[in-house]
Structure 1
């Protein structure tokens, strides 16, 4: 998809309609931070729109996180840094209206490569009532995410926000084994110094790797993602992980169920619905 997303700072992005009281925002961010210090993993079933967030809460979640892919699909865009910032902000506002627990938003790379624009966008998310964000390095040099983190902290001033820095070293296969752990730890130190509260390493699953990373970033909480072959929650917690995210799992299953039921009604063969299929269907 060639279309470039709207960036923070564009007309409308700092429109604060629908924002929540500042006291509520602060309590949500502090509450979300405290949830990482519990006696078991903080498990986040990722939502993709207001209704799914309400359902997740109804199921008993103590906090809600969004999946960037699911939010993009629900807004008619493929995953992969394509969703315009204004549309993500509008989706977040709808979610905030429906839940009473802390919300963490997967902001992808911040909707821009410009740290100042990223900071303006994240400020708008905080004004909307967000307690935390994920922000990732993707395929860029780590220094870029560090610059974004510093800009975000400067723009927030005294406002509270739990920032979960994400690295894709394991997920994208940039490195593995000892080399992967060393690179992850190098990036963690850089992001912590720049203002990150937590560290997200999707794709990591070997218990020894989890233990080494968790020990190397302590006291930063380590976030892992649900992937095939992931150890038990108890093993992950014992190894030092403190947060488990479902990622795209719930949203893909929901769309796959819709496709299967539609095929049954049409008396057709059920289509295969997965990440690649959803991205292809929405790449227009």
Structure 2
């Protein structure tokens, strides 16, 4: 299957006429989940590095070999006829040009790149990270939508000012969308006012709905690894149910 949407058309979907109607991208992890959400009518899908890593047998945060991650992306993309944007952590140590080449070879329309090291739980130097993002942006040209993740609410000082300062550097480097992951919903209006690009918000179970996040300033809402976690919990419960009935048999 081949999706025909361009990166420019995908980016244009972030321009919402109704704030409470953000672009909602379900995060998928394999061909089965991708087909399910595509058939449910979503015009674009996202992947979650944590979710893909889990089904490949790795933990999120750098353990996944890049060949396996990009192979998984290829399988997801070819299984659906809607575009896919990929979460690839901090690029798995690959050079910017190789990152872009692999993304385009996989057939994705965009990517997430984060500004921290999950193994050390440290933020990258923002100036150096911006320079690196600029190399990715130049290599990608207009072929990919670059979603720059800002991890200050994970490992930083949790302020709007700190997130906005990093976001400004990343925008100057070519970022199309800014993703201040785990930003509290009450800070979204200030973040949206401070950041001159579409804002990606993370929806977590039991928190504000995607519509509410949109009304607070998010142009795009994603789910991270939450959907795969819910699916995994459902499978675990099913396994326990079958195990209670038949697992003791020899």
Structure 1, residues 75-117: CA drift from partner, whole Å, max 9, x if none?
11111111111111111111111111121100100111x6xx1
Query: Which of 13, 33, 38 pairs up with 1:57?
Result: 38
Q: Compute the displacement of 1:50 (Å).
A: 1.3
Question: Which SS does the other structure have where 1:65 is aligned?
Answer: strand
2:188 is the counterpart of 1:204: no
Give the TM-score, by structure 2 length.
0.88
Structure 1, residues 36-87: CA drift from partner, whole Å, max 9, x if none?
1133211111001111111111112111000100101111111111111111
Question: Which SS does the other structure have where 2:219 is aligned?
Answer: strand
More off after superposition, 35-44 vs 59-68: 35-44
Query: Which of 73, 79, 86 pairs up with 1:105?
Result: 86
2:173 is the counterpart of 1:191: no
2:65 is the counterpart of 1:77: no
Which residue pairs with 2:129 in the alignment? Answer: 145
Structure 2, unmatched stretches of 5+, are 117-121, 246-250
2: CA distance, partners of 1:231 / 1:205: 10
Judge conservation of contact 1:205–1:230 (CA < 8 Å) in 2.
Answer: no
Cα 1:76–1:239 shift into 2, 3 Å: same
Question: Which SS does the other structure have where 1:43 is aligned?
Answer: strand
Judge conservation of contact 2:86–2:108 (CA < 8 Å) in 1.
Answer: yes
Which residue pairs with 2:12 in the alignment? Answer: 34
Question: Which SS does the other structure have where 1:267 is aligned?
Answer: helix
Question: Which SS does the other structure have where 1:183 is aligned?
Answer: helix
1: CA distance, partners of 2:192 / 2:161: 12
2:99 is the counterpart of 1:121: yes
Question: Which SS does the other structure have where 2:29 is aligned?
Answer: coil
Structure 1, residues 122-160: CA drift from partner, whole Å, max 9, x if none?
22112321111000001222233212211112323x451
Give the TM-score, by structure 1 length.
0.78
Structure 1, unmatched stretches of 5+, are 1-17, 269-284
Q: Compute the displacement of 1:254 (Å).
A: 0.9
Aligned length: 236
2:134 is the counterpart of 1:165: no
Which residue pairs with 1:214 in the alignment? Answer: 192
1: CA distance, partners of 2:12 / 2:235: 37
Q: Compute the displacement of 1:228 (Å).
A: 5.4
Which residue pairs with 1:240 in the alignment? Answer: 217
Query: Which of 157, 166, 170 pairs up with 1:175?
Result: 157
Which residue pairs with 1:281 in the alignment? Answer: none
1: CA distance, partners of 2:31 / 2:128: 32
